[in-house]
Chain A
Amino acid sequence: MDEIREWIRSRNPSLTGDIGEDDDLIEARLIDSLDFLDFVYLLEEVSGSPIDLQQLSVDDFRTLGRIRKRFLPAE
């Protein structure tokens, strides 16, 4: 999960403070359509398994909590 937080920070240098488990990443535009591709590749690398976007919606990526539950259940 640290890699995910780190990545979000690197893409949003003006971000101060912590990113909470339930913070809405989409609403806050911490992840948007333009860096989504790189984000999914990162998630695939961290989780070690491919992600089939056809089965998913933007809601599956809305908070760190949901991302953890859906893609990184072992953590």
Chain B
Amino acid sequence: MTAVTELTWDDEMRTAVDRLTHTAEENYYNPYQTFEWPDHIDESIPWMSADLMTVHGTEAAAELSSAQRLALSKWESIHFYSLNVHGIRDLMTEVVARIHTPGFEIPTPFFHHFLGEENEHMWFFAEFCLRYGGKIYPDRTMAFPREPASPVVDHFIVFSRILIFEIIVDYFNSRMAADATLPETIRAINRVHHQDESRHIAFGCHLVRVLFDRLRATCEPAEVEQARRYVARYIESSLHQMYSVDAYRDAGIDRPAAFRQRLLADPGRRAVHDAFAGRAYSFYRRIGVLA
């Protein structure tokens, strides 16, 4: 039993790949000439929408001075693009491992656009961090040995990771692109990213839906359960990633690790998390992964 024989794609998937590949070709742009990079970005205005910040809706927020709040908006903005840089490295690695391999003939044409676009996203996110933050926050993830699983489970988990990450990021991108109080450069990178990601997310939803159908049809109940648990935990863990001790420290917040704990425990964050991941939860409920 190999991955090859287990993967089959339906007409809906074929049509989606054709359509999205066509749109990607039509909308192709040169990212290296798309943005204006001013020498400085005004630090007297916020760099992240207030409702996207990790202190939003918490008791601890009231303890911050306005200078700390402003500094935090800068560092959480830099941290958000840093997370993207590292997240993109991870997802590109997984797609590179699958492009033009047996079983992935149908999605492969779009994989080319996906990889090309992600490489460009990584470039402009990194460029922003380095120009205006002087650094990219270090990657805080670690490569763990994979739990042994059928290839279909592996594929499902990998593409779910990509999709969940993209959905949460897109919530931020859409919000910041539309927020007229933010500096124009910040709005622009969020806007451009959102445009490409709407295709990636549409593609990912088809891919994951088909993979889950295969998984249910061919795997043991324990593996279906493993996949469900992974999705729920991955969403949670992606939300936790937003809370950066490094960013709190850079904003001059005292005892940044304890501060992070307090924010995560604040009941005010529950509704916010539900909003950030709302589209992921509803998608996974629709395809029968989550209850």
Is B145 an interface residue when CB atoms closer than 8 A count as contact? yes
Q: Establish whether residues A45 and B140, one from each chain, have CB atoms under 8 Å apart when the complex forms.
A: no
Q: Establish whether residues B145 and A45, one from each chain, have CB atoms under 8 Å apart when the complex forms.
A: no
Is A26 an interface residue when CB atoms closer than 8 A count as contact? yes
A-B residue pair count with CB separations less than 8 angstroms: 48
Is A37 an interface residue when CB atoms closer than 8 A count as contact? yes
Against A, the Cβ 8 Å flags (1 = close, 0 = not) of B170-185 are 0000000000000000
Minimum CB–CB distance for B91 against chain A, Å = 14
Residue among A29, A33, A44 with the highest chain B CB neighbour number at 10 A: A33
Which residues of B217-242 are within 8 A (CB) of A? 230, 233-234, 236-237, 240-241
Given contacts A35-B237, A54-B138, contact A41 B144 (CB under 8 A): no
How many chain-B residues does the 8 Å CB contact rule pick out? 20
With a cutoff of 8 Å between Cβ atoms, the chain A residues found around residue B143 in the complex are: 33, 57-58
Cα distance A45–B145 in the bound complex, in angstroms: 26
Given contacts A44-B245, A45-B258, contact A34 B142 (CB under 8 A): no
Q: Establish whether residues A29 and B140, one from each chain, have CB atoms under 8 Å apart when the complex forms.
A: no
Q: Establish whether residues B237 and A52, one from each chain, have CB atoms under 8 Å apart when the complex forms.
A: no
Interface of B is mostly: helix
Q: Establish whether residues A41 and B237, one from each chain, have CB atoms under 8 Å apart when the complex forms.
A: no
Q: Establish whether residues A36 and B145, one from each chain, have CB atoms under 8 Å apart when the complex forms.
A: no
With a cutoff of 8 Å between Cβ atoms, the chain B residues found around residue A36 in the complex are: 141-142, 144
Q: Establish whether residues B237 and A44, one from each chain, have CB atoms under 8 Å apart when the complex forms.
A: no
Cα distance A54–B230 in the bound complex, in angstroms: 25
Is A38 an interface residue when CB atoms closer than 8 A count as contact? yes
Residue among A26, A37, A44 with the highest chain B CB neighbour number at 10 A: A37
Cα distance A10–B89 in the bound complex, in angstroms: 31
Is A74 an interface residue when CB atoms closer than 8 A count as contact? no
Given contacts A26-B144, A41-B257, contact A53 B237 (CB under 8 A): no
With a cutoff of 8 Å between Cβ atoms, the chain B residues found around residue A37 in the complex are: 140-141, 237, 240-241
Q: Establish whether residues B138 and A53, one from each chain, have CB atoms under 8 Å apart when the complex forms.
A: yes
Is A21 an interface residue when CB atoms closer than 8 A count as contact? no
Cα distance A32–B230 in the bound complex, in angstroms: 11
Q: Establish whether residues B138 and A41, one from each chain, have CB atoms under 8 Å apart when the complex forms.
A: no
Given contacts A29-B147, A34-B237, contact A41 B245 (CB under 8 A): yes
With a cutoff of 8 Å between Cβ atoms, the chain A residues found around residue B139 in the complex are: 53-54
Minimum CB–CB distance for A74 against chain B, Å = 18
With a cutoff of 8 Å between Cβ atoms, the chain B residues found around residue A56 in the complex are: 142
Closest-by-CB residue of B relative to A45 is B257
Is A19 an interface residue when CB atoms closer than 8 A count as contact? no
Is A4 an interface residue when CB atoms closer than 8 A count as contact? no
Q: Establish whether residues B241 and A34, one from each chain, have CB atoms under 8 Å apart when the complex forms.
A: no
Q: Establish whether residues A34 and B138, one from each chain, have CB atoms under 8 Å apart when the complex forms.
A: no
15 contacts between A and B (CB under 8 A): A32-B144, A33-B141, A33-B142, A34-B230, A34-B234, A35-B237, A36-B141, A37-B237, A41-B257, A52-B138, A53-B138, A53-B141, A56-B142, A57-B142, A58-B145
